[in-house]
Structure 1
Amino acid sequence: MTIASTLESYLHDHHIPFQSVVHPHSSSSISTAISANVPLQNIAKAVVLKDHEGRRLLAVLPASFKISLSALNDELLATYRLAREQEVYKMFSDCEHGAIPALGAAYNMNTVCEQVLDDMEHVYIEAGDHQTLIKIDKAHFQDLMKDSKHLHFSRQVIH
């Protein structure tokens, strides 16, 4: 597998230029950063959330950060929780498990973006497998996230 078909179609349909960064198979953000030789804080990870009414939300944050559900729920006046793995697998059926692209719009999901990512010159997102990242420049990443809420809802845990 390479780039998830849903992600690739979305990027092409929206005229977003990107660079594929192929790396040895990895099973964690840290090993991906090392094997791809990219800064961990520039990798945007996706966390799938659901509220008590079943509404889905994709939280996008740097891989070196940890989400604070209480901060996010306070900001959104909501009660989101982590989605169950089986639910996530169904939502991202064209992706390998654990390699979710940080682009909710491609999968018809509302998205919240950690503000720290707004300042990155380049952002890398999972392509849908464990061997490919998509490199997107700042302007195009901001374009992809223009309909997202930009909030501070996480904290750095790995330097």
Structure 2
Amino acid sequence: MLSPRLHSFLDETHSHYTTLHHERTVTAPHTAEAVRVPRQQFAKTVMLKVDGALAMYVMPSNFHADLHRIALALAGANVELAHEDEFRGLFPDCEPGAMPPFGNLYGVPVYVDSRLTEQDRITFNAGTHTDAVRMPYAEFEQLVQPQVLWLTHMM
């Protein structure tokens, strides 16, 4: 089941998407495997604090965030990983750690790794650890309007 907020938004905007139900997973690489998509097409969401304010960083699941490079790309901002306790309340319709990369629905800015822009389609958590959404990347970008950054390196 999709998060109610995401489901309503995608339907109201007449978005083109597919829902994928899968066995319970808790990591993005395992979810990519469960829904049978290449890891570079599965978008994982990492919550950051940028100068003390929460933000989402969305990247392919086969990469990890380089906080130093994020800080440099954001003009020297102080960037650190956010703890789950700091953001859990922002996503009341999502399971912890399964929030979709639609920060615009929750009042959170979104930064996206430029390598996702190379994908025709992306897949991401839909608010649970058993459901995902697949949609054209271009449509995701139009709906979310993230700031695109080139920051990660292979795990």
Q: Provide the TM-score with structure 2 as the length reference.
A: 0.92
Equivalent-residue separation in structure 1 for 2:146 and 2:33 (angstroms): 29
The amino acid across from 1:85 in the alignment is E
Q: Distance in 2 between matches of 1:139 and 1:84?
A: 30
Equivalent pairs: percent with the same residue? 28
**Aligned-partner Cα distance in 1 for 2:101–2:20:** 15
Equivalent residue number for residue 130 of structure 2: 131
Quick check: 1:14 aligned with 2:8? no
Equivalenced residue count is 154
| Runs of at least 4 residues off by over 4 Å | none
Cα deviation, residue 142, structure 1: 2.6
* Alignment correspondent of 1:28: 27
Counterpart of 1:156 in structure 2 is: 154
Partner of 2:61: 63
1:152, distance to aligned residue in structure 2 (A): 0.5
Provide the C-alpha distance between the structure 2 equivalents of 1:51 and 1:25, rounded to a whole number of angstroms: 31
Letter in 1 for 2:152: S
Q: Verify the 8 A CA contact 1:6 1:107 in the aligned structure 2.
A: no
Report the residue type matching 2:32 in the other structure: A
69, 72, 80: which is aligned to 2:70? 72
Give the Å deviation of 1:13.
2.7
Give the superposition deviation at 1:91: 1.3
> 1:139: Cα distance to partner?
2.5
- What code does the residue aligned with 2:154 have? Q
Offset, 1:144 = 2.4
Query: By how many angstroms is 1:149 displaced?
Result: 1.2
Q: Hey, what does 2:114 align to over in structure 1?
A: 115
Looking at structure 2, the residues matched to 37 and 120 of structure 1 have their Cα atoms a distance apart, in angstroms, of 15
Q: CA RMSD in A?
A: 1.4
Matched with 2:105 is: 106
Q: Could you say if the C-alpha distance between residues 144 and 155 of structure 1 is closer, same or farther in structure 2, counting changes exceeding 3 Å? A: farther
- Opposite residue 72 of structure 1, the aligned amino acid is I
How far apart, in 1, do the equivalents of 2:102 and 2:152 lie?
Answer: 18
Alignment-derived partner of residue 82 in structure 1: 81
TM-score calculated relative to the size of structure 1: 0.90
